[in-house]
């Protein structure tokens, strides 16, 4: 039986609860004799800060580098609102992305038919929705320098963030988007603000040139990021793959998540460049956050986390059939009417995290 090394970083809030369900799914594959996962667990975010004063320790960073894939839960919460900026919970996640060079963030927004009712949009607008947001993850305003607050000495301060993109960064994320589109419905929409930002002008130029040179068979459309946000809620099914920068991708993927019924539904994969053996560093995380208001209550929806594990099987280990089995199990459980509170819709009864995990495991066993 093949064996892979997973490094688990459950983090804060509902992170540990949803990661626990993924561990059960991963163990199931081992018990079924299909594939074995060796799992080790570390600390990230507020819990890491409490334990050793940093958002992630050097030894956990080393384990993340050594693993075949990292499974990440969520970080942050009001408890750490006042900790210094450099060691705030989110710094752990940003360091993982940067140090592992995970430049490509894939956020698929799929609206399961059974959930069309749970979306805040009209069911006919979202039913059958299947879009892929490709977010650049290691550049732009998240990491650009200078990034600081300076004292102007006259009772005024100045906050500075720097939006910066080089050609190679735009090209490599563009390539990921075009390659994915070829396996889907062959359309890419590229979003930037070329009407206001120089980095947007360059983004547009580089994507256009790459398309002409290597991907002329794919339909390419450009959109201004604000208009893209509007179109996403007006007529989301017009999109296939959306490629955009780090900050716009952060915002647009939250919108896309809500189209699917709940933030609790959206998985994600963060991938690095393939090495000589075709292996990529990778981290898988749900798009939802730590949800401190429901943490520890057993109410969280584990589907985005379990869906992230399915992405891990598909993108890191080439286990497409096994990933399909998980995704089908999720779809069947939703079709059966089982709902956590976040996707309640009109359901009269809501279920908890573990019961949702149980139901998905039972479906897997049947498949
Ligand atoms: C996300 C999150 C993160 C981001 C936060 C937690 C730093 O919102 O993954 O979308 O802004 O990238
Ligand atoms: Mg976000």
Catalytic residue (one of 99, 254, 324, 358): 254
What is the tens place of the pLDDT at every residue in 64-74?
999 999 999 99
The C-alpha atoms of residue 338 and residue 215 are separated, in whole angstroms, by 42
Which residue out of 289, 290, 292 has the highest number of ligand 1 atoms within 8 Å of its CB and is therefore the one to mutate?
289
As a whole number of angstroms, the longest Cα–Cα distance in the chain is: 69
Instruction: Determine which of 70-84, 93-107, 255-269 has the lowest per-residue pLDDT on average.
Output: 255-269
Atom 4 of ligand 1, nearest CA residue: 250
- Is there a catalytic annotation at residue 226? yes
Q: What is the mean pLDDT of residues 13-37?
A: 98
Q: Report CA-CA distances (Å) from 318 to 28, 49, 163, 310, 321.
A: 18, 35, 35, 11, 9
Residues facing residue 9 across a β-bridge: 72
Which residue out of 90, 245, 247 has the highest number of ligand 1 atoms within 8 Å of its CB and is therefore the one to mutate?
90
Per-residue confidence at 132, pLDDT binned at 50, 70, 90? very high
Quote the ligand 1 centre to 141 CA distance (angstroms). 13
Ligand positioned closest to the Cα atom of 95: 1
Atom 9 of ligand 1, nearest CA residue: 287
90 CB within 6 A, ligand 1: yes
Domains belonging to the chain, first-starting first, are: 1-103+272-367 (3.40.718.10), 106-263 (3.40.718.10)
- Is there a catalytic annotation at residue 27? no
Q: What is the mean pLDDT of residues 317-336?
A: 96
Per-residue confidence at 12, pLDDT binned at 50, 70, 90? very high
Predicted local confidence at residue 136, as pLDDT: 98
Nearest atom in ligand 1 to the alpha carbon of residue 253 is 10
The C-alpha atoms of residue 287 and residue 72 are separated, in whole angstroms, by 10
Predicted local confidence at residue 119, as pLDDT: 87
Quote the ligand 2 centre to 9 CA distance (angstroms). 18
Quote the ligand 2 centre to 289 CA distance (angstroms). 8
Closest to 195 (Cα-Cα) out of 230, 222, 164, 166:
222
Nearest atom in ligand 1 to the alpha carbon of residue 93 is 7
Atom 7 of ligand 1, nearest CA residue: 90
Catalytic residue (one of 226, 237, 324, 358): 226
pLDDT of 122 above 90: yes
Which residue out of 92, 250, 292, 304 has the highest number of ligand 1 atoms within 8 Å of its CB and is therefore the one to mutate?
250
- Is there a catalytic annotation at residue 254? yes
Predicted local confidence at residue 346, as pLDDT: 84
Per-residue confidence at 209, pLDDT binned at 50, 70, 90? very high
- Is there a catalytic annotation at residue 183? no
Neighbouring CB atoms inside 10 A of 286's CB total 31
| pLDDT cut 70: percent of the chain above it | 100
Indicate the SS3 state at residue 348. Answer: coil
Per-residue confidence at 263, pLDDT binned at 50, 70, 90? confident
Predicted local confidence at residue 329, as pLDDT: 97
pLDDT of 114 above 90: no
93 CB within 6 A, ligand 1: yes
Nearest atom in ligand 1 to the alpha carbon of residue 75 is 6
pLDDT of 117 above 90: no
Q: Which residues contact 171 (CB under 8 A, 6 or more apart)?
A: 206, 210
Per-residue confidence at 262, pLDDT binned at 50, 70, 90? confident
- Is-above-0.85 flag for pTM? yes
**What is the residue-averaged pLDDT of the chain?**
96
Quote the ligand 1 centre to 250 CA distance (angstroms). 6
Q: What is the mean pLDDT of residues 5-32?
A: 98
Quote the ligand 1 centre to 72 CA distance (angstroms). 12
Atom 6 of ligand 1, nearest CA residue: 90
pLDDT of 178 above 90: yes
252 CB within 6 A, ligand 1: no
Instruction: Transcribe 71-100 into DSSP letters.
Output: EEEE---GGGTTS-GGGSHHHHHHHHHHHT
SS (H, E, C) 263-304: HHHCCCEEECCCCCCCCCCEEECCCCCCCCCCCCCCCCCCHH
Predicted local confidence at residue 258, as pLDDT: 87
Q: Which residues contact 322 (CB under 8 A, 6 or more apart)?
A: 29, 34, 35, 310, 313
Predicted local confidence at residue 164, as pLDDT: 98
Indicate the SS3 state at residue 37. Answer: strand
Token pair belonging to 203? 């983004």
What is the tens place of the pLDDT at every residue in 299-316?
999 999 999 999 999 999
Q: What is the mean pLDDT of residues 58-81?
A: 98
| pLDDT cut 90: percent of the chain above it | 92
How many residues are given for the chain?
367
- Is there a catalytic annotation at residue 68? no
């Amino acid at each position: 039986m093949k064996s892979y090394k997973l490094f688990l970083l459950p983090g804060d809030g509902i992170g540990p609860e949803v990661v626990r369900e993924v561990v059960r799914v991963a163990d199931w594959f081992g018990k079924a004799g299909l594939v074995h996962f060796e799992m080790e667990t570390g600390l990230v975010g507020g819990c890491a800060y409490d334990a050793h004063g940093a958002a992630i320790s050097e030894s956990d960073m080393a384990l993340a580098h050594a693993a075949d894939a990292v499974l990440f839960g969520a970080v942050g919460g009001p408890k750490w609102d006042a900790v210094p900026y450099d060691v705030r919970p989110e710094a752990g996640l940003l360091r993982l992305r940067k140090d592992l060079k995970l430049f490509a963030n894939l956020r698929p927004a799929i609206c399961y038919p059974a959930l069309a009712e749970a979306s805040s949009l009209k069911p006919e607008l979202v039913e059958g929705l299947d879009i892929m947001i490709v977010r650049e993850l290691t550049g732009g305003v998240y990491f650009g320098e200078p990034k600081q607050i300076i004292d102007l000495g006259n009772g005024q301060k100045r906050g500075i963030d720097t939006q910066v993109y080089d050609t190679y960064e735009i090209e490599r994320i563009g390539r990921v988007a075009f390659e994915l589109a070829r396996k889907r419905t062959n359309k890419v929409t590229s979003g930037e603000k070329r009407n206001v930002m120089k980095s947007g002008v360059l983004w547009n130029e580089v994507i256009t040139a790459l398309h002409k040179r290597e991907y002329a068979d794919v339909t390419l459309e450009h959109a201004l990021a604000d208009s893209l946000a509007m179109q996403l809620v007006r007529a989301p099914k017009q999109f296939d793959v959306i490629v955009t920068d780090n900050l716009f991708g952060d915002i647009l993927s939250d919108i896309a998540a809500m189209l699917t019924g709940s933030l609790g539904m959206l998985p994600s994969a963060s991938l690095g460049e393939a090495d000589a053996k075709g292996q990529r560093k990778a981290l898988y995380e749900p798009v939802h956050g730590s949800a401190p208001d429901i943490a520890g209550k057993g109410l969280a929806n584990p589907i985005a986390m379990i869906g992230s594990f399915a992405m891990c099987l598909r993108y890191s280990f080439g286990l497409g059939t096994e990933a399909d089995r998980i995704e089908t199990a999720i779809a069947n459980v939703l079709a059966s009417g089982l709902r956590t509170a976040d996707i309640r819709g009109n359901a009269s009864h809501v279920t908890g995290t573990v019961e949702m995990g149980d139901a998905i495991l039972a479906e897997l066993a049947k498949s």
